[in-house]
Amino acid sequence: MKLALVGATGLVGREMLEVLTERQIKVDEFIPVASARSIGKKINYMGKAYTVVSMDEAINAKPDYALFSAGGSTSTEYAPRFAAVGTCVIDNSSAWRMDPDKKLVVPEVNGHILNGQEDIIANPNCSTIQLVVALKPLHEAYGIKRLVISTYQSFTGTGAKAVEQYEGERDGKATHSYESAYDHPIFENCLPHCDVFLDNDYTKEEMKLVHETRKIMNAPDIAITATAVRVPVHGGHSESVNIEFEKSFDIDTLKAILHNAPGIIVQDNVKDSIYPMPKFARKKDEVFVGRIRRDESIENGLNLWIVADNLRKGAATNAVQILEHLIH
């Protein structure tokens, strides 16, 4: 098997390399790809050193699979070129997610739709991935009517520039010594502004939660509204989710459903202050669910707190799980 990793030196690319290594994905040929300034650098994978190559060189090698984590414009330009030589692309950008001809996949939720004939498969947005892992088994049991989502998203989701800004502010460096990713400080601050604002005054991130959730769960009629907030947290994304179901539920049965669902770890013992926290989700591949309680203000209402490492399950791990689904 020939595997290309596009964006190999970036934040998510490095995480993908780590996940591939942990999961012992064996390849006959590994092809790391990065921008012009990184070409020629060495990257270690499974005990061997590989040289970073250009896009054209990688395309000419005709890899079987290519993991993409290099931004939307790069994916739009190069993913079809890889696909044209027979490569199956698993793309982490937003470029293909809402394309009606491309599958948007979270293996625990809709991995069954993959048939091995795909040219480009879209990896969903980080905040959507952890959300749908928790929602899918509940939707199957009770039917979700409406969702109200508030996210608390790590600055690492914005990329290396945001990490540089956070560390610069934390260390008290002069603002001219680092490049800022945000319009305002992120250290000791919360920004109700993830991605760009759209004409409806929601951000792109908020609308991704709406559209991607419906597509992945094949549930176009769920009413969804979201507020996405960037927080000074290193470990992962957290979500407060209010659900209105079509059917009534027994809370103990509902908790058991979550306990038994793939990819979920339930942490829900408030007497002992046990609940999910991003600090402890870091470097983990599971989705953590807690604060499971009935919404007493509405019939068939539920509140959940959902946490996951946005660079792992929210990006790298999910992409590698799609790859595993295809090769096994």
Residue 172 CA: distances (Å) to CA of 6, 44, 161, 230, 288: 34, 34, 16, 20, 34
User: 134 CB contacts (<8 Å, ≥6 apart)?
Assistant: 241, 258, 261, 264, 287, 289, 304, 306
CA 318/CA 297 separation, integer angstroms: 35
Catalytic residue check, 237:
yes
Exposure string of 231-264, with b = 16+ CB inside 10 Å and e = fewer, is: bbbebbbbbebbbbbeeebeeeebeebbeebebb
Catalytic residue check, 190:
no
The dihedral sign for the CA sequence 158, 160, 164, 166: positive
Coil, helix or strand for 310?
Answer: coil
- What is the chain's length? 328
The single residue of 88, 126, 139, 194 carrying the catalytic annotation is 126
DSSP secondary structure of 131-195: HHHHHHHHHHHH-EEEEEEEEEEEGGGG-HHHHHHHHHHHTT--GGGS--SSSS--TT--BS--S
Coil, helix or strand for 46?
Answer: coil
The single residue of 88, 139, 194, 237 carrying the catalytic annotation is 237
CA 150/CA 21 separation, integer angstroms: 34
Backbone angles phi, psi at 57, to 5 degrees: -65, -40
The dihedral sign for the CA sequence 41, 45, 49, 53: negative
Residue type, 301: G
Q: Residue with structure tokens 């000419």?
A: 60
Coil, helix or strand for 127?
Answer: helix
Measure CA 151 to chain center.
Answer: 13
Catalytic residues, which ones? 126, 237
